[in-house]
Chain A
Amino acid sequence: MKLITAIIKPFKLDEVKDALKAANVTGITVTEVRGFGRQGGHVETYRGAEYKVDFIPKVRLELVVDDAVADQVVEVIVKSAGTGKIGDGKVWITEVSRVVRIRTGEEGRDAI
Chain B
Amino acid sequence: MKPFTIKSGVTALSGTLGALAMPGLVRAAEDAPPSLEELQTLVPGLQVTLDNVFVLVATVLVVFMHAGFVLVEAGLTRAKNAGNIVMKNLINFSIGAVVFFAVGFAIAFGGGFDGLGAYIGGGGWFIGDGAFAYGNLTPFTFFIFQAAFAATAATIVSGAMAERTKFGGYVAYALIMTAVIYPIVVRWQWGGGWLYQLSTPFHDFAGSTIVHLTGGVAAFAAAKALGPRIGRYGTDGKPRAIPGHSIPFAIVGCFILLVGWFGFNAGSQLGADPVIGRIATTTLIAAGAGAVMAALVTRLQSGKTDVAMTGNGLLAGLVGITAGCYAVSTIGALIIGLVSGLIVVFAVSFFDKIRVDDPVGAISVHGVCGAFGTIAVGLFSNEESEGFIAKGLFYGGGTDQLVSQIIGVVSVAAFVFVASTIMFAVIKATIGLRVSEQEEREGLDVHEHGSPGYGSDRAMA
Contacts and interface: CB of A to CB of B under 8 A. Distances in A.
Interface of A: 44-52
Contact of B302 (A48, A51, A52): A48
Contacts of A49: 239-241, 349, 352
Contact of A51 (B243, B312, B348, B352): B243
A50 B242 CA distance: 9
A46 B243 contact: yes
A49 B238 CA distance: 9
Contacts of B244: 46
Interface in B329-360: 345, 348-349, 352
Contacts of B301: 48
Nearest to A53: B243
Given A48-B348, A49-B240, A51-B242, 13 more contacts: A44-B243, A45-B302, A46-B244, A46-B306, A47-B241, A47-B312, A47-B361, A48-B349, A48-B352, A49-B239, A49-B352, A50-B240, A51-B240
B403 to A, nearest CB: 34
Contacts of B306: 45-48
The prevalent SS among residues of A at the interface is strand
- Contact-residue bracket for chain B: 10 to 19
Nearest to B231: A51
Contacts of B243: 44, 46, 51
Interface string B169-213: 000000000000000000000000000000000000000000000
Point out which of A44, A47, A50, A52 has the most chain B C-beta atoms below 10 A from its C-beta. Answer: A47
Contacts of A46: 241, 243-244, 306, 308
Contacts of A47: 241, 306, 308-309, 312, 348, 361
Nearest to B247: A46
A48 B241 CA distance: 8
A48 B240 contact: no
A59 to B, nearest CB: 18
Contacts of A51: 240-243
A48 B361 CA distance: 11
A48 B301 CA distance: 8
Contact of A50 (B241, B312, B348, B361): B241
B352 to A, nearest CB: 6
The 10 closest A-B pairs by CB, nearest first: A49-B241, A46-B241, A51-B241, A46-B243, A49-B239, A48-B349, A45-B302, A47-B309, A47-B308, A51-B240
